[in-house]
Structure 1
Amino acid sequence: MSTLVIAKKDFKDAIRARTLQLLVAFFVGFTTLVFHYHRSRLGEEPTFTTLFDGIIGMLGVVVPVLGMMVGYKAIVGERESGSLKLLLALPHSRRDVMLGKFLGRSAIVVVTMAVGFVLIGIQTILFTDLFSLTKFLFAAGEITLFGIMFVAIAMAFSTAMRSSMTASIGALGLTILFSFLWDFLYGLFAQFVDPIQIDPETGWGSPDPGPNWLFLLKRLNPRQAFYEPSPYEISEPIPFYLDPWFGWVIVVAWLVVPLGLAYLRFRNSDLT
């Protein structure tokens, strides 16, 4: 019960501080612009997949930043203000505080994503004939999971650090890594491990697939957890870590491991 009490308080505080309203307004405006931009670029044979691949690609950069902004001050902000001691003086354990804060901040992300995607769905129905409820719900759920994973990562920094500045730098650094640098570094590493052989006669690179474990490195990025390489990129037999279900293992790991490590540190840390 303590966990839910803290989660509800955190969510209500976000409403009172207009944090939720500002996030919703920004996300609605951004998604509307992104939707109409990609709708205008549809080819002669548009499909729901081609429309939403572009939308999800752009949201995949913005949503982690939103998750980081929502989560990075969850614990360290209470520590700096002194209210964390007061909170723990009540019948709440440190585990209750961490889980409650995580649930409250995740609810903020879920509501923000829900409002934005409902409007995207309405616009898809009004301006196109491409709407697919199943694919729409999957896309909305996938991008919402991204946001929640980055809340967990940001909260790990918030719990482990003693100042909002260091927590924000750490969370923002990982967000930049996963959103902008991961694919670049992965490409460099893949080229080092399995250099492309250029045929001097044709000028084309070798079509031989590289080692399968390289694609596991790509999937370890929370934004790429559900990435599935095409058949010509991998060699038989297909390892279990490239099966679609393994994406859920990666998602759970990104939710549990950061929060678990942060809790172990928070459980024995001095609150001063």
Structure 2
Amino acid sequence: MELRQVFAVAMKELRDRLRNRWVVAVALVFAALALVIAYFGGAQQGAVGLRSIEFTIASLVSLVIYLIPLIALLLGFDAIVGERERGSLELVLTLPITRLELLLGKYLGLAAALTLSTLVGFGLVAVLLVVQTGTAGLEPYLGFMFSSVLLGLAFLSLAVMLSVLASDRARASGLAIALWFFFVLVFDLLLLGLLVATGGETGGAWFPYLLLLNPADVFRILNVFSLDEVRSLYGLASIVPSALAKPWLMGLVMLGWIVAPLGIATWRFRP
């Protein structure tokens, strides 16, 4: 594998997203929604305006869990299958480039675009927080931004895997939406339903570890246990053992969610 080829494909993907203003559009969406939620997140308690770092993170966690996975899946679902349908995949593979170089280049280019838009969008909120509260409590917010990037990369890996496995764009897009519904909406309901139906007898001890099977829950755990005020706003604090409440451990689990789907995609994309 030649890194020069991977870099060339990645730069092309990134330039395409910059040229069609995808990065700017997504960054503005992130910034606008983050500002609205951070500013009006305390309206139900009778207060508006930017409050503490902890409250801002607590308000933004739910936004990230819903929005970033969806954007990542929509960004990457046609990375390979789209080229195949347009007939350009065979043409590209006639060039001196391997399938692995093409796949990694596309992923890295899309990952760079998603990362850039995430950091710029949430970075604008960070600037306002610095103006409002100073730099003393900025470190947890930077950790939140980093974990948001990891969440996006994990779902982008899943999207690229779907793009390799699907036979056409329509099927890939349907699978991407179904995956979003499953991980963001259905997965936790199934676990809670299992606990309620069995009175907590089935899966109770394993419940915290089952959460690791969902990258959205890994992101939630990573941020819920970062600050005391955030921890108090979520019920996960009472069921997740302290053994899992380690940022470095959750970071490794999230890296696993990035690497594993890419590994499957690489295996299936072989000639």
TM more than 0.5: yes
Residue in structure 2 matched with residue 220 of structure 1 by the alignment: 213
State the shift of 1:14 in Å: 1.4
The aligned residue for residue 266 of structure 1 is 269
Distance in 2, matches of 1:20 and 1:114, equals 11
Matched, 1:246 2:249: yes
TM-score relative to the length of structure 2: 0.83
Q: Given that residues 225 and 250 in structure 1 are in contact (C-alpha distance below 8 angstroms), is that contact kept between their aligned partners in structure 2?
A: yes
What is the aligned partner in structure 2 of residue 204 from structure 1? none
Q: CA deviation at 1:150?
A: 0.8
Q: How many residues align?
A: 250
Give the aligned partner of residue 232 of structure 2: none
Contact 1:67–1:148 (8 Å) recurs in 2: yes
User: What pairs with 1:1-272 in structure 2 (closer than 5 Å)?
Assistant: 1-38=4-41, 40=43, 47-128=52-133, 132-195=137-200, 211-226=204-219, 227=221, 230=237, 233=239, 244-268=247-271
- Evaluate the alpha carbon distance shift between residue 77 and residue 116 of structure 1 in structure 2; reply closer, same or farther with a 3 A threshold: same
Structure 2 residue identity aligned to 1:123: L
CA deviations on 1:11-36 (whole Å, 9 max, x unpaired) are 11112223223222322222222222
CA contact (8 A) 2:65 2:216 kept: yes
Give 3-state SS (helix, strand or coil) of 2:117's partner.
Answer: helix
Q: Which structure has more helix as a fraction of its residues?
A: 2
In 2, are the aligned partners of 1:48 and 1:131 still within 8 Å (CA)?
no
- In 1: Cα distance, 2:136 partner to 2:73 partner: 31
Q: CA RMSD in A?
A: 2.5
In 1, Cα distance between equivalents of 2:147 and 2:118: 11
Unaligned ranges ≥5, structure 2: 226-235
Which secondary structure state, in structure 2, belongs to the residue aligned with residue 225 of structure 1?
helix
2:8 aligns to what SS in structure 1? helix
Equivalent residue of 2:167, what SS? coil
Structure 1 gap ranges (5+): 197-209
1:205 corresponding residue in structure 2: none
Shift, 1:170, TM fit: 0.9
Q: Does the C-alpha gap of structure 1 residues 243 and 131 become closer, same or farther in structure 2, counting only changes over 3 Å?
A: closer
Note if contact 2:53-2:138 (Cα within 8 Å) is conserved in structure 1. Answer: no
> Which has the greater radius of gyration?
1
1:164 Cα deviation after fit: 1.1
Q: Percent identical across equivalent pairs?
A: 27
Distance 1:70 1:183 in 2: 25
Partners of 1:173 and 1:119 in 2: how far apart? 32
Query: Is the 8 Å Cα contact of residues 9 and 109 (structure 2) preserved in structure 1?
Result: yes
Q: Which moved more, 1:136-145 or 1:49-58?
A: 49-58
**1:131 Cα deviation from its structure 2 partner:** 6.1
1:7 is aligned with what amino acid? A
How far is 1:260 from its partner?
A: 1.2
1:36 maps to a residue whose letter is Y
Contact 1:68 1:154 in 2 (8 A): yes
Distance in 2 separating the partners of 1:166 and 1:140: 32
1:137-160 per-residue CA deviation (whole Å, 9 max, x = no partner) reads: 101001111111111101100111
